[in-house]
Amino acid sequence: AQRVTQPEKLLSVFKGAPVELKCNYSYSGSPELFWYVQYSRQRLQLLLRHISRESIKGFTADLNKGETSFHLKKPFAQEEDSAMYYCALSSYGGATNKLIFGTGTLLAVQP
Amino acid sequence: KAGVTQTPRYLIKTRGQQVTLSCSPISGHRSVSWYQQTPGQGLQFLFEYFSETQRNKGNFPGRFSGRQFSNSRSEMNVSTLELGDSALYLCASSLGEGSYQPQHFGDGTRLSIL
Encode pLDDT of B29-55 as tens digits: 999 999 999 988 899 999 999 989 998
Local mean pLDDT, 10-residue blocks, chain B (114 residues):
91 97 95 93 92 91 96 96 97 78 92 96
Best residue in A41, A47, A97 for a mutation probing chain B (most B CBs within 10 Å): A97
Residue B11's φ and ψ, nearest 5 degrees, are -145, 140
- A92 and B100: CB-CB below 8 Å? yes
Q: Search chain A and give the residue with CA nearest B58.
A: A98
Predicted local confidence at residue A4, as pLDDT: 96
Q: For B102, which of A46, A101, A102 is closest by C-beta distance?
A: A46
What is the 3-state composition of chain B as percent helix, strand, coil, each rounded to the nearest 5?
Answer: 5, 55, 45
Residue B101's φ and ψ, nearest 5 degrees, are -115, 140
Predicted local confidence at residue B83, as pLDDT: 96
As a whole number of angstroms, the distance between CA A1 and CA B49 comes to 23
Q: Search chain B and give the residue with CA nearest A84.
A: B42
Predicted local confidence at residue B97, as pLDDT: 65
Is the pLDDT score of A13 beyond 80?
yes
Chain B: closest CA distance from residue A110 (Å)? 24
* Confidence label for A110 from pLDDT (cuts 50, 70 and 90): very high
Best residue in B38, B53, B57, B99 for a mutation probing chain A (most A CBs within 10 Å): B99
Predicted local confidence at residue A51, as pLDDT: 78
Q: B71: left (phi > 0), else alpha (psi -120 to 50), else beta?
A: alpha
* A53-99 residue pLDDT tens: 788 899 999 899 899 999 999 999 999 999 999 999 987 656 677 88
Predicted local confidence at residue B25, as pLDDT: 96
Work out the burial of residue A57: count CB atoms within 10 Å of its CB; fewer than 13 is exposed, 13-18 middle, 19 or more buried.
exposed
Chain A: closest CA distance from residue B81 (Å)? 25
Q: Which residues of B touch A93 (CB under 8 A)?
A: 99
Predicted local confidence at residue A93, as pLDDT: 59
Is the pLDDT score of A17 beyond 70?
yes
Q: How many CA atoms lie within 13 A of A101 on its CB side?
A: 23
Predicted local confidence at residue B1, as pLDDT: 66
Q: For B45, which of A99, A102, A103 is closest by C-beta distance?
A: A99
The whole-number average pLDDT for the span A9-21 is: 97
* A18-65 residue pLDDT tens: 999 999 999 887 788 999 999 999 999 999 988 777 888 999 998 998
Predicted local confidence at residue A54, as pLDDT: 80
Q: Search chain A and give the residue with CA nearest B99.
A: A93
